[in-house]
Amino acid sequence: MLGNVFDLEYFHHLLIKVILLRETLPDEKQLSYLHRIDNVLFSHGGLADSFVRRYVPAGSYNDVDAALQKINSLGWEEMWQDASPIWYRPQYYEGRLYKPRKLLQVVGHTPVGAISRKGNLIYCDVFGKTIKEYLKSPQDTKLPRALVIVFGI
């Protein structure tokens, strides 16, 4: 039955990544919707400015760490919606991203043919292929330090 729902090779790759994540982040407090390294924000779908304004108190909006902490503490009721960092698809919506001049966002969620950058957004869901295989051009190898750390490029 599983073969009818998922490509087994992709499922195996996903399982290995989940195990690697568990080994890398053994403390469950480290599993979050959003992670930041320097000025690079990682999430599944992207962080919309409107989502931050809706759920983060106005006094914490400009404090990126406080805003991320608040969003990472939200439950399924708040996160199970199209605008959340789990399901947001910035390439399909006109809305503004959170702190576009300060943060580079790296998102997956929507499959793309090649890792690409548009403004302050990097799209990287390439169906489990190797990162180097899907870089658009040799210039893309000059990535921020955070991407080198995460992807091992």
What's the confidence (pLDDT) of residue 73? 92
In this predicted structure, what is the pLDDT of residue 115? 75
Q: Which two tokens stand for residue 31?
A: 């599993």
- Which pLDDT does position 8 carry in this prediction? 66
**How many C-beta neighbours within 10 Å does residue 117 have?**
15
Is-contact 2 11, C-beta < 8 A? yes
Tell me the average confidence (pLDDT) per consecutive run of 10 residues in the chain, 153 residues long: 50 69 67 86 92 97 96 91 89 86 86 78 68 51 48 45
Q: To 10 degrees, the CA torsion angle through 138, 24, 63, 46? A: 50
**Model pLDDT, residue 48:** 95
pLDDT at site 146 = 47
Domain positions in the chain: 1-28, 32-151
In angstroms, the CA 107 to CA 93 distance is 14
pTM over 0.85: no
